[in-house]
């Protein structure tokens, strides 16, 4: 009898997990047709630790500090991606705003805006506007966000460098946060 109860409980849990995953998939907001992501290059690195520093006498004139530090350390192998992302301007006929859809990444991204203006929203629904030539960091690891081109006339583009665990999905679609349902 105990064995039947264990089997029943395990089957019930499996069905509940499947139902929850199915709902999450339905509620996820994938990118729309006005957005295109292209992998320029990718590669795999064994675990590494790199530390660089320059002191005041080694820094260029006008540097805004007394020291420059850089540390990158991984445990386990990592995949590195260089991504080119493009967004079309708002569609004048439909009003559709090109967007990445709500998503996160398992690792961080270093992003350069190479053309136009890109607006980023996170779960606070506050717009963070990034113009051509500006940079920003997506910390990854559950930082849910959406990137959109809200321009009526100009396309937007970025280049992103992403470091993630080897074999992990580079992008994880997520549902829009409850308070940001109008941003898709």
The CATH architecture one would assign to domain 27-45+78-180 is Sandwich (2.60)
Burial of 99 (0-12, 13-18, 19+ CB in 10 A): buried
- The secondary structure of residue 83, as a DSSP letter, is E
Using the Cα atoms of residue 96, residue 100, residue 103 and residue 108 in order, give the sign of their dihedral.
negative
Segment among 18-22, 65-69, 89-93, 166-170 with least mean pLDDT: 18-22
pLDDT of residue 180: 92
- Rounded Cα gap, residues 117 and 149, in angstroms: 7
Task: Check pLDDT > 80 for residue 24.
Answer: no
pLDDT at 86: 98
**Which pLDDT belongs to residue 31?**
87
**Mean per-residue pLDDT for 36-65?**
95
Give me the percent of the chain exceeding a pLDDT of 70: 85
Q: What angle do CA 147, 107, 41 make, to 5 degrees?
A: 80
Distance in angstroms (rounded) separating the CA atoms of residues 134 and 11: 51
Helix (H, G, I), strand (E, B) or coil at 179: helix
- The pLDDT tens digits of the residues spanning 90-99 come to 999 999 999 9
Question: Average pLDDT of 8-29?
Answer: 40
Condensed to tens digits (0 to 9), the pLDDT of residues 61-90 reads: 999 999 999 999 999 999 999 999 999 999
Give the chain's mean pLDDT: 87
pLDDT of 120-160, one tens digit each? Answer: 999 999 999 999 999 999 999 999 999 999 999 999 999 99
The residue to which tokens 């998939």 are assigned? 25
pLDDT value at position 181? 87
């Amino acid at each position: 009898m105990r064995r039947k109860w264990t089997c029943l409980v395990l089957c019930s849990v499996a069905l509940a997990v499947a139902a929850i995953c199915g709902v999450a998939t339905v509620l996820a907001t994938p990118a729309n047709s006005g957005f295109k992501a292209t992998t320029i290059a990718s590669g795999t690195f064994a675990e590494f630790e790199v530390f660089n520093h320059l002191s005041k006498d080694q820094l260029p004139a006008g540097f805004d500090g007394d020291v420059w530090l850089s540390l990158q350390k991984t445990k386990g192998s990592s995949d590195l991606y260089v991504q080119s992302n493009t967004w079309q301007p708002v569609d004048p006929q439909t009003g559709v705003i090109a967007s990445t859809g709500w998503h996160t990444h398992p690792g961080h991204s270093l992003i350069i805006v190479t053309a136009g203006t890109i607006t980023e929203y996170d779960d606070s629904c506050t717009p963070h506007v990034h113009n051509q030539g500006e940079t920003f960091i997506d910390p990854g690891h559950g930082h849910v966000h959406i990137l959109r081109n809200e321009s009526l006339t100009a396309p937007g583009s970025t280049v992103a460098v992403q470091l993630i665990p080897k074999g992990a999905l580079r992008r994880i679609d997520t549902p829009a946060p409850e308070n940001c349902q109008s941003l898709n």
